[in-house]
Structure formats: structure tokens, C-alpha cells
Amino acid sequence: MNRPTVSKILGTGSFVPSRVVPNDEFAQTLDTSDEWIRTRTGIRERRYAGPADTSATMGTLAAREALAAAGVKPADVDLIVCGTVTPDMVCPSTACLIQAYLECGTIPAFDVGAACSGFVYALSVADQYVRAGTARRVLVVGTEVLSRVSDFTDRNTCILFGDAAGAVVLGPTDDPGRGVHQIRLYADGSRQELIQVPSMVTPNPPPGAGVLPNLRYLRMNGREVFKFAVTKLKEMIGQAREDCGAVGKRIKLIVPHQVNVRIIDAALEDLAIPPEAVVVNLDKYGNTSAASVPLALDEGIRTGRCGPGDTILLVAFGGGLTWSSALVTL
Ligand code: UT7
């Protein structure tokens, strides 16, 4: 009997813009300090897009790198799925723009909106296409320009975010034991008010709609999101350990959404996970939402912290609320 088709990560890539923004820059205009930001979040600096950078241009550069790593030509890609909350435009999708920039031909391309879980949600869509046999080379991109929705008068939020893009190429594998074992997705729309990014379509929702006031930029209830993030990160790692046991694997590296080192440390401490088993690069890039997990994954692979045959766990959580994980053997 034929084995069911399983999808595998064939290559990864990432892109960060060149402008480095250290914590001290915020202290020039806000009542904050490098010391507060470092000790309360772990962030030292982040990158900001230049005038010519957009989610689509950065996503394209990350995608090119992932395609090169996978040895796949743009003409051989047969689906593009992009996670972003900062699309260049509401229409067309960022995935369509990336498709055009890469000259992939008239393959399907669409965006997935799941905030910081956007990349893992997009990966789950790609995984389903590959498993179903309807796509053989899927480009999955997470890309954000959060500096363009940051309120630079709000010290509670603007210091957290950065701009970046990450991408993977997914395709089928015959290799037993390798590939995507399990993807778990969750959402709780009843807690939507905890993180919001406005749209031009409804810039000022009416009172009573359950939204925060003066909604022009990204708004967040940091304290509540912090509690949610620690709880879900722990829950998803615990669940993945069980999933791992069921497929006879051990997690070598956890690649969590990068937002606050205290969130990651709290989960690690409770679960007795050593720091070397986790990728942390938020000190350099801050929270890059849907780009965060593929950016950290690409770094983990390129620095040799994980490689072929290693089992890794991608974990993300954010606006929606959404939370998600992917257990993968590279
Ligand atoms: O990607 C989506 C997921 N997002 C997250 O996971 C974000 C999760 N939340 C966090 O990372 C943290 O809650 C923050 C970094 C946003 C805030 O850290 P905190 O330790 O939870 O601080 P807090 O909100 O409890 O605020 C403590 C104090 C407040 O002052 P008062 O009211 O005690 O006088 C804040 O106004 O810290 C103040 N504060 C700051 N002070 C200096 C908040 N931001 C700053 C700042 N500089 N940048």
C-alpha cells in the first residue's frame, strides 16, 4: 500500500532591511530607556524598512533565498501563500505581488491573516495542498513592515516591533520519518480586542463594537497578551511533546514567535527546557509578527543549530487571538 504523501521543508530564506534602530532612539522622544526595554523585553535593536521596502519586496527577497536553498526555480513553484498583517495593499494580495516579482506565472497566490500566527497558518495551508497532491512546490512567506503601523507616541507598543521577512519552500517527501508531522491551529475571536491593527476600510469603528478607542495604529493590552502568550506557549510545547512521542521523535530545537524573552524564559523554566534548545533572536529584530518564526527558523538552520533529520517545533501566538504550532522533522 502507498504511504500517504507527507510535506517537507525543502529550503528556507529570510530578509531584514539594513536600517538598525537601537533602543536609545526611542529614549530621544519617549519616556523610556535602553535599560527598561532590554530588561523588560530582551530587545536591543530592531530593523526598519527603508522607503523602497514593502512587505512584498522584502517577502520576495526572502522567497528568492528560500528557493535557492531548495534548488527550486520560480517557474517550478505552483502555489504561494503569504502571512502578513501589513500588506502593501488590501487588494491585490501581497502573495500576488510576490508572484509577479518572482515571475512565477499564473499560479494561485493568496494571503492568510492570522497575525503573529500567520506563517504557521500559511504553512498549514501549504501542507494540506502538498498532502492532497494538488501542489508539489509551495512557497510560504511571512513578511511585515510593522514600523508603518507603530504608534511612536506609545511606549507600550512601538518599542516592540520590527520589519522583516522569512520564507520556506514546502514539497512532498518519500523519506520515512521526515517532514511535517503535526500542525495545530487555534483561534479565540472573543478576545479580539487584545491586539488590533486597523484597516483603511473601517478606520473608526463605532463605539460599542468592542474595540479600543483612537484606533489608528497597532494597539495592544500588553499585560493580558503576556499572560496569554506564556500559557499558550507552555500548552503547545507540552502538546508537541506528546505528539512527538507518538511519532517516536525528540524535539531538538524550539523556534518560538519572538516577542519578549520573558515570555520564552517563563515557559522554559516551567518545562525545564535548556536555553540551547530554543532559538532566540528577538534581541536583534524585536517582534516581526508573521515574519518572526521563519526568520528565526532560517537563522537556526544557517547557523547549524538544526539540520536534516532534526525534529523542530515552530510555535506562534498573537492577534485574533490565534495560536499555533508545527512539529517538523527537517
Ligand atoms: O506579537 C503579539 C504578541 N505580543 C506580545 O506577546 C506582547 C506581550 N507583552 C509584553 O511583552 C509586555 O507586556 C510589554 C513589554 C508590552 C510590557 O511589559 P510589562 O512588564 O508587562 O509592563 P506593563 O505593561 O505591566 O507596564 C509596567 C510599567 C507601566 O508603568 P506604570 O503604569 O507602572 O507607571 C508602563 O507604562 O512600565 C511602563 N512601560 C514602560 N516604561 C518605560 C511600558 N512600556 C514602557 C517603556 N519604557 N517602553
Does ligand 1 have an atom closer than 6 angstroms to the CB of 314? Answer: no
| Residue 32 φ then ψ, to 5° | -150, 180
Does ligand 1 have an atom closer than 6 angstroms to the CB of 117? Answer: no
Does ligand 1 have an atom closer than 6 angstroms to the CB of 41? Answer: yes
Residue 105: predicted pLDDT = 95
pLDDT confidence bin for 132, thresholds 50/70/90? very high
Rounded Cα–Cα distance for residues 306 and 311 (Å) = 8
Q: Tell me, what DSSP letter sits at residue 161?
A: B
CATH topology of domain 180-329: Peroxisomal Thiolase; Chain A, domain 1 (3.40.47)
pLDDT higher than threshold 80 for residue 3:
no
Mean pLDDT of all residues in the chain?
A: 94
- Only one residue has cell 515570555, namely 263
Could you read off the pLDDT of 143-194 as tens digits, one per residue? 999 999 999 999 999 999 999 999 999 999 988 899 999 999 999 999 999 9
- Strand 322-329, strand 45-48: pairing: unpaired
Rounded Cα–Cα distance for residues 111 and 24 (Å) = 35
- In sequence order, the 6+-apart residues with CB closer than 8 A to the CB of 324 are 114, 117, 120, 121, 124, 183, 184, 185, 186, 236, 315, 316, 317
Nine cell digits for residue 315? 510555535
The single residue of 82, 104, 287, 306 carrying the catalytic annotation is 287
3-state secondary structure (DSSP) of residue 48? strand
pLDDT confidence bin for 4, thresholds 50/70/90? confident
Class of residue 128 by CB neighbours under 10 A (exposed 0-12, middle 13-18, buried 19+): middle
Q: Domain residue spans in the chain?
A: 6-175, 180-329
Ligand 1 mean position, distance from CA 157 (Å):
8
pLDDT higher than threshold 60 for residue 1:
no
Cα distance between the two ends of the chain? 25
| Residue 2 φ then ψ, to 5° | -70, 140
pLDDT higher than threshold 60 for residue 211:
no
CATH topology of domain 6-175: Peroxisomal Thiolase; Chain A, domain 1 (3.40.47)
Among 182-191, 203-212, 228-237, the range scoring the smallest mean pLDDT is 203-212
Does ligand 1 have an atom closer than 6 angstroms to the CB of 226? Answer: yes
Same fold, 6-175 and 180-329: yes
| Residue 30: HSE in the Cβ half-sphere, 13 Å Cα cutoff | 18
**Can 96 be counted among the known catalytic residues?**
no
3-state secondary structure (DSSP) of residue 46? strand
Rounded Cα–Cα distance for residues 107 and 99 (Å) = 8
pLDDT confidence bin for 198, thresholds 50/70/90? confident
Residue 96: predicted pLDDT = 98
Rounded Cα–Cα distance for residues 63 and 258 (Å) = 20
Ligand 1 mean position, distance from CA 63 (Å):
34
Residue of 150, 226, 230 best suited for mutating to test ligand 1, as the one with most atoms within 8 Å of CB: 226
**Can 244 be counted among the known catalytic residues?**
no
**Predicted TM-score (pTM) above 0.75:** yes
**Other Cβ atoms within 10 Å of 49 Cβ, number:** 24
**Can 287 be counted among the known catalytic residues?**
yes
- Find out whether 227 and 262 touch, Cβ atoms under 8 Å: no
pLDDT higher than threshold 70 for residue 27:
yes
pLDDT higher than threshold 90 for residue 215:
no
Ligand 1 mean position, distance from CA 156 (Å):
5
- In sequence order, the 6+-apart residues with CB closer than 8 A to the CB of 15 are 58, 59, 61, 62, 65, 164, 165, 166
